[in-house]
Amino acid sequence: MTSSTLSTQRPPFYRDTRTIAIMLQVLFLLVVLLIGWFLYNNMVTRLAAGNTAAGGALSWGFLGQTAGFGISEGPTFRPEESYGRAYLVGVINTLRVGIVGVILATVLGLLAGIARVSNNWLLSKLAMVYVEIFRSTPLLVQLLFWYVGVIAALPPIQEAAPLGDLGYLTNRGMYLTWIFPSETGRALTWWLLGGVIVGVMVAWLRRRQLERAGVPGSGVMAGFAAFVLVLVIGFLVALGASQMPTTTTYELRRGDRGALFEDINGNGAFDLNVDRPLAYVPITLYGADGQVVASGMTNGDGAFRFIDLPAEATRLEWTTPAPLVVSEPQRQGFNFSGGISVTPEFAALLLALVVYTGAFIAEIVRAGINAVNKGQWEASRALGLSTGATLRMVVLPQALRVIIPPLTSQYLNLVKNSSLAIAVGYPDLFNVSRTIVNQTGAEVQGILLVMATYLTFSLITSLFMNWYNKRVALVER
Amino acid sequence: MATDIRSTSWVNTNHPAPAQKPPASEVGVLGWLRTNLFSGIGNSFLTIVTLIALYFIVTNLVQWLLGAYWEPIWVNRKLFAVGQYPLEQLWQPALVLLMVSLLFGLSAGRWGSIMRNLGVGLGALLLALALIPIGLQAQVVMAASLALLLIGYLIGARIAISGRWLAVAWVLSLPATFVILLGGINLPRLGVTWNFAPLVESNLWGGLMLTMLLAVVGIALSFPIGVLLALGRRSNLPVVKLFCVGYIELIRGVPLITLLFMGMTMLPLFLPSNWGNPSQLVRAMTAITLFSAAYLAENVRGGLQAIPKGQYEAADALGLGGFDKLRFIILPQALTKVIPAIVGQFIGLFKDTSLASLVGLLELVAVGKAVIQQPAWLGVTGGVAKEVYVFVAFVFFIFSFGMSFASRKLESKLGFGKR
């Protein structure tokens, strides 16, 4: 037998690795399908036998049905709206706490991580204690501690003392002074948007210009300056052109409440979706004999309401507001009006997520900074850079390459962990989905919907962070 | 005329000069303070600000700790330990503790490294519990466990016991734990019912015992699945790879709590109707295992990727088949490398079991919630929630921090993380 016959001799098909590979895969697929079919079949049988509202058929029709429950937070949601919209409100609530949480956790983690590598012994140890305590205890326990132990122990609304001009901390939530665009500042939102676009464009152009000139630096400062400039121009324009609509009128009911609006159809009464309410306009209420009984401001919906007036108001006057107004929370009976309010549920969830994730991010930042060669510190010190400049311009940009991949998974963890909202009753997507499932019995669909949503979040975050990672990655030959 | 250079007055011939002591500001306490706290204006400022912050934190903390009302925790210590497990049958959990202590001791003696570090931690914990007057019987059990731990260590270190048999003992200890806690075997559908004590259904298990059980079962059962998934993900059979990648990414993309709710409400749906409904404990454990498997697979994959290609080629050259190659060459190396990662995952899972309280299991956090609502504490101003949650967090902290400390010690010993 020559060597040529040896190489051309094919093994029998059952010893051929290529055939074996295909056979194995077919077998694997069969087993998976068989198990899947078994599970699915059981499920269909059980659903048909059981008296769940889903009634065997896995239909998605329930999403269009009337929800019949209200949602206390986020975009306005009325019980007569559909389950589908309720779920959407839940998704928005998840994003609300997720986005704010990611930003704050990054700031906290970055600060704690830098403190951890600081050459100040005390600061470094303090940061270490923070990291170890919050990393080694379950998020759920921390969340319950903040919610039941801390926030619920704050004073009730009637007894809450103001924190200077900032607002109030009560066991029913935080009420904070806030700046709002008023009726005359409506256009500011568009100016803000325009400012962002102009800022990004200027930053990009400046960066290109610097690159061409071969000068080190980024366009961030130029972009930011352009952004501020656009905002200032917008504010001045709004201030110059500020005037109230000529058909401004008001409605006053029961002597203490009502609305200020632009009477578009001219019938003198406020018609929802026709007339335009006027937000954050200073108003003064006068009684029957001309004395001032109350003064204040309309709220974001153009409405106003006063409590415990000395006399019934019969007449109202308004003044033209500045484009931006500062609204302070004011105690009115058992509640506050004005400013913005943060519910205890949102505050507890946000606090827990930020403090917990911040501890993990601090460790990531520390590892990233430690991964930068010591020589880099010494070289920049030799060049005469200060510690801050070294950190900002030499170390952190290099550390980012090590930091970003694990940071991505921390962001995803934060969003996924926000599903613990159900423990404190914050209406995030998971909590809302449970309410929907409990009412409709659409168990399987509910779980599928939630999983699909979280997977979408994961995918989007991963894609974005991968793109960013590619940008900061070392350019290799 | 050449003069001897040494004779000129400007050369110091009186050498060497006696060594001066370093200035007081550079060494000792003062020197330490200077380099670590007051090395510059910025640093001094930071120190002062930190000190002020620390002062407020510490005074408030001490004030709270002294004024806090710890009665509910002390009164309910049995509830926190084992939940509603019947009082007269507590010897069963005690037996499990004794068994685990002995195994731990043997393993620490036999294998050393991380098992020894963990064993030291367990020993310290048992010693502390034996000394605190939690109850005479409980203290005796703790002391006996400590003794078994030490005896096991001595046996393991002195006598060459078979590592394989020890591993088998660990594997068997898991079903044994269930049998002991249950008081027998109760599988009526298979026609097997046997008991050595009144059966204690799993809905009576609780507290730290249940938390531990959930975490240990989660890691132990997910181990084989995780290894298979990791191998599948690195397989060159596209169908297998696709399935494994899909499973891992799907599970890692969703929060544990969705899987727990799914396990609670949908697991019974997936079983044939004549099988009845599995207990809540089984449902939660299934969900935790499926969850943990995906993360374990990723850890194991990290270990597999760290194996140099030469190892595969060498195994091929030796003529080892696919299975033998994995069994004798690849997995032993890969799994050793990922021990710290798996310990880290166990810590994470240990904390994550707290979510089981949201689906009705009476583990540590759920016990805490129940204790807060006991009518006895209604009169306490401000409630007892802070105290209870701080205590629960403290228990989690002891175990999590202890385990991560043991693991870090090992890492620094093995030189992981050093560059």
Q: What is the pLDDT of residues A432-461, one digit of tens each?
A: 999 998 888 888 888 899 999 999 998 888
Q: Is residue A72 part of a domain?
A: no
Does B381 lie at the interface with A, CB-CB under 8 angstroms? no
Q: What is the pLDDT of residue A358?
A: 96
Pairwise CA distance, residues A230 & A48, whole Å: 63
Q: Strand pairing partners for A283?
A: A296, A318
Q: Do A451 and B369 touch (CB under 8 A)?
A: no
Closest CA to B307 of B343, B331, B325, B323: B331
**pLDDT digit string (tens) for A153-192?**
888 887 777 777 788 888 888 888 888 887 777 778 888 8
For position B208, what pLDDT does the model report? Answer: 94
Are A393 and A453 within one domain?
yes
Q: Which two tokens stand for residue A67?
A: 């929800």
Q: Do residues A416 and A306 share a domain? A: no
A471: Cβ contacts below 8 Å, ≥ 6 apart: none
Measure the CA angle with vertex B411, ends B407 and B412; round to 5°: 120
Strands A303-305 and A335-337, sheet pairing: unpaired
Q: Is B240 on the interface with A (CB under 8 A)?
A: yes
Could you give the ipTM of this predicted complex?
Answer: 0.88
Residues of chain B contacting residue A126, judged by C-beta atoms under 8 Å apart:
50, 53-54
- Boundary of a domain, candidates A194, A222, A240: A240
CB contact under 8 A, A141 and B355: no
Cβ-in-10-Å burial (0-12, 13-18, 19+) of B218 comes to buried
Q: What local confidence, expressed as pLDDT, does residue B5 receive?
A: 61
Alpha-carbon distance of B332 to B316, in angstroms, equals 16
CATH of domain B69-85+203-419: 1.10.3720.10
Q: Count how many domains chain A has.
A: 4
Q: What is the pLDDT of residue A144?
A: 94
Cβ distance A43 to B270 less than 8 Å, yes or no, reads yes
Return the closest-CA partner of residue B212 out of B166, B173, B251, B262: B173
Average pLDDT over residues A43-62: 68
SS3 category, A385: coil
Residues A279 and A225 in one domain: no
Contact list in B for residue A419 (CB cut-off 8 A) is: 255, 257-258
Question: What number is the average pLDDT over the span A302-311?
Answer: 76
pLDDT of residue A57: 57
Q: Which of A333-337, B190-194, B255-259, B410-414 has the largest mean confidence?
A: B255-259
Tell me, yes or no, whether A386 lies in a domain: yes
Query: What's the domain range around A224?
Result: 180-240
- The mean pLDDT value of chain A amounts to 84
C-alpha span between B181 and B213 (Å, rounded): 11
Of A224, A240, A256, which residue constitutes the final position of a domain?
A240
Q: Is A98 helix (H, G, I), strand (E, B) or coil?
A: helix
Using the Cβ of B132 and the Cβ atoms of chain A, whether some distance falls under 8 Å is answered with no
DSSP, collapsed to helix, strand or coil, labels residue B196 as: coil
Sign of CA pseudo-dihedral A381, A387, A388, A391: positive
* Residue B399 or residue A61, greater confidence: B399
pLDDT at residue A53, rounded to an integer: 46
Same-domain check for residues A202 and A130: no
User: Can you tell me the distance from the alpha carbon of A170 to that of A159, in angstroms, rounded to the nearest whole number?
Assistant: 8
What torsion, rounded to 10 degrees, do the Cα atoms A440, A442, A448, A450 define?
A: 20
Q: Please check the confidence at residue B2 and state whether its pLDDT lies above 60.
A: no
Distance from B174 to chain A by nearest Cα, in Å? Answer: 25
Burial class (CB in 10 A: 0-12, 13-18, 19+), A370: middle
Encode pLDDT of B105-151 as tens digits.
999 888 877 888 889 999 999 999 999 888 888 999 999 999 999 99
**Same domain for A462 and A348?**
yes
CB-based contact B155:B166 (threshold 8 Å): no
Burial grade of B319 (CB within 10 A; 0-12, 13-18, 19 or more): exposed
Are A451 and A348 part of one and the same domain?
Answer: yes
Taking an 8 Å cut-off on Cβ atoms, the answer to whether B383 and A447 are in contact is no
Confidence of residue A337 (pLDDT cuts 50, 70, 90): confident
With CB atoms and an 8 Å threshold, state whether B389 touches A420: no
B278 touches chain A (CB under 8 A): no
Residue A338 falls within a domain, yes or no? Answer: no
- pLDDT, residue B3, reads 58
Residue with tokens 């490294």: B113
Residue A431 and residue A370: Cα distance in Å, rounded? 40
Structural domain spans, chain B: 69-85+203-419, 86-199
A62 found inside a domain? no
Do A405 and A441 sit in the same domain of this protein? yes
Of A149-158, A249-258, A272-281, B178-187, where does the model show the most confidence?
A: B178-187
**Residue A347: predicted pLDDT:** 92
CB of B58 within 8 Å of a chain A CB? The answer is no
Same domain, A447 and A356: yes
Banded pLDDT at B382 (limits 50, 70, 90): confident
Q: Residue A153 and residue B357: Cβ atoms within 8 Å?
A: no
Out of A24, A153, A454, name the one closest to residue B254 (CB). Answer: A454
Each residue's pLDDT tens digit, A74-124: 788 888 888 999 999 999 999 999 999 999 999 999 999 999 988 888 899
Label residue A54 by pLDDT band (50, 70, 90): very low
User: Who's near A48: CB < 8 A, 6+ residues apart?
Assistant: A55, A56
Answer with the one of A240, A267, A283 that is the final residue of a domain: A240
What is the predicted pLDDT for the residue at B419? Answer: 36
Q: How far is CA A390 from CA A371, B36, B130, in A?
A: 15, 19, 53
Same domain, A93 and A119: yes
The residue written with tokens 């034996």 in the block is B130
Average pLDDT over residues B12-40: 76
pLDDT at position B416, please? 47
pLDDT at B100 over 90: yes
In-domain check, residue A170: no
Report the distance separating Cα B153 and Cα A19, nearest Å. 52
> What letter represents residue B278's amino acid?
P
Query: Which of A141, A150, A151 to mutate to test binding with chain B, by most B CBs within 10 Å of its CB?
Result: A141
